[in-house]
């Protein structure tokens, strides 16, 4: 009934199936291993802000018609979240320069400590961006919130009398 040819073919089929089964198990192990690493790494990735975080969108020019503000990153070797906020009126040479250091970020809302270089006084301010990141509302201590819209106009176009920089 069983001849050598049938037994050989049967053993080959069993051997191939066993090899395929071992190969599939090996592939599953390889696929499972990176997934386990991703799960372990995900808490670390979540602690660092993504590009969608508002701090990456807050730099640049903003205006509300009366004032133009420019928010720039500050040169800091440590890489901390420091910024310079310059605010000027539509006319005149009044100069308001505040330094900010971000302390907390929740959704589209940022909290920062503000200070001037020539003063030891500090206070908190909040910056809140809309979902589209086209408007920013700044709330200074003891003041009403002020909303600014992102603008592409250059500072000298807004107020030609003002000398920009620090």
Are 44 and 108 members of one domain? no
**Strands (E) located in 20-143:** 60-63, 67-73, 82-89, 96-106, 109-115, 122-129, 135-139
pLDDT, tens digit, for every residue of 57-80?
788 899 998 999 998 887 655 556
Are 88 and 123 members of one domain? yes
Are 124 and 152 members of one domain? yes
CATH number at 77 reads: 2.40.128
Are 61 and 13 members of one domain? no
Are 29 and 65 members of one domain? no
Is 163 part of any domain? no
Distance (Å, rounded) from C-alpha 47 to C-alpha 38? 14
Are 41 and 59 members of one domain? no
- Which single residue is written with the structure tokens 């176009």? 157
Low-confidence ranges of the chain (pLDDT < 70): 1-2, 4, 7, 11-12, 15, 17-56, 75-80, 164-166
The 3-class SS string of 84-104 reads EEEEEECCCCCCEEEEEEEEE
Are 114 and 87 members of one domain? yes
Are 150 and 71 members of one domain? yes
Overall pTM > 0.85: no
Is 31 part of any domain? yes
Residue 8: domain span: 1-48
């Amino acid at each position: 009934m069983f001849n050598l040819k049938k037994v050989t073919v049967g053993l080959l089929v069993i051997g191939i199936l066993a090899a395929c089964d071992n190969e599939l198990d090996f592939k599953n192990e390889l696929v499972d291993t990176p997934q386990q690493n991703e799960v372990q790494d995900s808490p670390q990735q979540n602690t660092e802000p993504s590009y969608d975080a508002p701090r990456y969108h807050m730099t640049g020019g903003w205006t509300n018609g009366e004032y133009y503000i420019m928010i720039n990153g500050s040169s800091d070797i440590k890489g901390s979240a420091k910024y310079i906020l310059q605010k000027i009126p539509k006319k005149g040479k009044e100069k308001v320069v505040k330094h900010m250091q971000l302390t907390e970020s929740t959704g589209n809302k940022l909290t920062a400590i503000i200070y001037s270089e020539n003063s030891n006084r500090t206070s908190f301010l909040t910056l809140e961006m809309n979902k589209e990141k086209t408007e920013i509302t700044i709330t200074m201590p003891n003041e009403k919130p002020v909303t600014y819209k992102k603008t592409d106009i250059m500072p000298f176009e807004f107020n030609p009398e003002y000398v920009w920089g620090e």
